[in-house]
Amino acid sequence: SSCPGSRGSRRCTVLGSMMITYIMRFCLSIAITEMVRSHSRNSTGQVAPGTCPYDDVGPSSSVQRDRGEFVWSEQTQGIVLSSFFWGYVITQVPGGLLAERMGGKYTLGGAILVPAICSLLTPLAARQGVWYLVGLRIVMGLGQGFVYPSLNALLAKWAPLEERGRLGTLVFAGANFGNIVSNSLSGLLLSWTEGMWPVLFYLYGGAALFWLWLWIMFGYSKPEDHPGLSLSEKKYLEKYSAQVHMQKKLPPTPWRGIFTSVPLWGLVVAQIGHDWGLFTIVTDLPKYMKTVMHFSIAQTGVRAALPYVAMCVVALFAGGLVDFLLAKKITSITASRKIFTTVASLGPAVGIVGASYAECDKQTVTLFFILGMGLMGFFYPSLKVNCLDLSPNYAGTVMALVNGIGAVSGIITPYLVGLLIPDNTMEQWRDVFLIAAGVLLLTNLVYVCTASGEVQPWNEPPAPADHEAHKHAPSHWEEIKNRRHELKMNVSQWK
């Protein structure tokens, strides 16, 4: 997992792309707690029913210094937080098709440029009106819809089978590194600057433009494009490409095979469940900690980041573990994907429900979130790389389909949370967490019954000779016509 060497530097650069992507995507989740005026204490200064008491009740209390400049209802906040995904789901499949044919370098670069500009414009849009902000978030989602398809297209070229667990985990765990920075650094900055939330969007947008400059200078779509690739690395990757039937020039996408693939649809269902649980926590945990648990903004940022620290550690451990199990032939690819995905579903379900029943015990609540979301780290070397197992040739398109449908959860969950918590009480939030746990468990059951870790038949296009034979073969209707003619001839002879 170190960065020296051509492939190592590629991992670190792509890891950085995931970090900055998630920082820009979810920093609004903590910023909105300072952007919007709090209603957690009524006009007489009393704590709202169904919420926890404050630790700090003096003049320095974070509640006494409520700096929110917008008055948005919970439903409006839900729309703002979900609007990113309205655009995100649209560009998944186009992103996969373009990444496979243009190369992941260009599509990933564009997927960072558009959100970077949107991040810089966020303060202006919010102050113009909530619907300006919603529109800008939709555009950001349209841009970031290219990220995962681009990364899968890159990994399909650069990640050999026996390294896929570690490399895929390292790259995709960048999302958790991004969540750590987005929560902890944002919380501290908001505390230090006394609620100057625009600083977050300027800082992260500028960081994204800096990463883009590095990518333009040092990023490559394919190993053969890299002028500094060593001979040993080149031979190693060429051998891998031959083993998994990677095609240099892809024929048309096998849509029929894709849409009728049972393992693929099982993967889609599992992705929906994972995203439902993850987006519930990522978009709304800071709000829960600040408005119900009544942590200060600095405490909210740090404590909301801890589950992602645990997730990163577990993900890196799980990535090495799955590679070890496969190398020693202890489990099959299919079995390892099912086992690890089950852990990544059951753990968070238990954790978030346990946190909701711990009520105002702040240490226990934090511990449950850390343990539960930490176990979600098993998701990265299982469900997240399963697209590469099913189809190395069409990894970008398959990931686009899976990720795009799964991201519908990101549209539903923030808005649903807004509807379920009009008063921001502990009981209302418990319903949110119980629903998330139920979705995680149900979708995992579907995945266990349908998943596969084997390359699917539609991944391998027909050989040229087979293609020519198929091209000159009679059509379905011609075959029926010929059979009818033969039948008439037989009837005539019988008469």
- Give the CATH number, domain containing residue 297: 1.20.1250.20
Is the model's pLDDT at 492 over the cut of 70?
no
* CA pair distance 68, 34, nearest whole angstrom: 5
Q: What's the pLDDT score for residue 12?
A: 72
pLDDT bracket for residue 66 (50, 70, 90):
low
Is the model's pLDDT at 169 over the cut of 70?
no
Buried b (16+ CB within 10 A) or exposed e, 332-364: ebeebbbbbbbbbbbbbbbbbbbbbebeeebee
Residue 236 domain-assigned?
no
Average per-residue pLDDT for the chain: 83
| Residue scoring higher pLDDT (206 or 393) | 206
Quick one: average pLDDT of 34-47? 64
What are the two backbone dihedrals, phi and then psi, of residue 41, each rounded to the nearest 5 degrees? -135, 135
| Residue scoring higher pLDDT (55 or 458) | 458
Is the model's pLDDT at 22 over the cut of 90?
yes
pLDDT bracket for residue 9 (50, 70, 90):
low
Quick one: average pLDDT of 182-192? 93
User: What share of the chain has pLDDT > 70, as a percent?
Assistant: 77
Is the model's pLDDT at 110 over the cut of 80?
yes
Residue 237 domain-assigned?
no
**With helix as H, strand as E and coil as C, how does the chain read?**
CCCCCHHHHHHHHHHHHHHHHHHHHHHHHHHHHHHECCCCECCCCCECCCCCCCCCCCCCCCCCCCCCCECCCHHHHHHHHHHHHHHHCCCHHHHHHHHHHHCHHHHHHHHHHHHHHHHHHHHHHHHHCHHHHHHHHHHHHHHHCCHHHHHHHHHHHHCCHHHHHHHHHHHHCHHHHHHHHHHHHHHHHHHHCCCCCHHHHHHHHHHHHHHHHHHHHHCCCCHHHCCCCCHHHHHHHHHHHHHCCCCCCCCCCCHHHHHCCHHHHHHHHHHHHHHHHHHHHHHHHHHHHHHCCCCCHHHHHHHHHHHHHHHHHHHHHHHHHHHHHHHCCCCCHHHHHHHHHHHHHHHHHHHHHHHHHCCCCHHHHHHHHHHHHHHHHHHCCCCCCHHHHHCCCCHHHHHHHHHHHHCHHHHHHHHHHHHHCCCCCHHHHHHHHHHHHHHHHHHHHHHHHHCCCCCCHHHCCCCHHHHHHHHHCCCHHHHHHHHHHHHHHHHHHHC
Residue 481 domain-assigned?
no
Q: What's the pLDDT score for residue 11?
A: 66
Residue 241 domain-assigned?
no
Q: What's the pLDDT score for residue 53?
A: 83
Q: What's the pLDDT score for residue 1?
A: 41
Is the model's pLDDT at 4 over the cut of 60?
no
Residue 474 domain-assigned?
no
Is the model's pLDDT at 428 over the cut of 60?
yes
Domain that residue 136 falls in: 6-38+66-221+247-461
Residue 492 domain-assigned?
no
Q: What's the pLDDT score for residue 406?
A: 92
Residue 181 domain-assigned?
yes
Q: What's the pLDDT score for residue 217?
A: 83
Q: What's the pLDDT score for residue 37?
A: 84
Residue 120 domain-assigned?
yes
Query: How many domains does one find in the chain?
Result: 1
Quick one: average pLDDT of 121-140? 97
Is the model's pLDDT at 483 over the cut of 70?
no
What's the half-sphere exposure (Cβ side, CA atoms, 13 Å) at 455?
15
Is the model's pLDDT at 388 over the cut of 80?
yes
Q: Which residues contact 346 (CB under 8 A, 6 or more apart)?
A: 375, 440, 441, 444
Q: What's the pLDDT score for residue 5?
A: 47
Q: What's the pLDDT score for residue 62?
A: 44
User: What share of the chain has pLDDT > 90, as a percent?
Assistant: 52
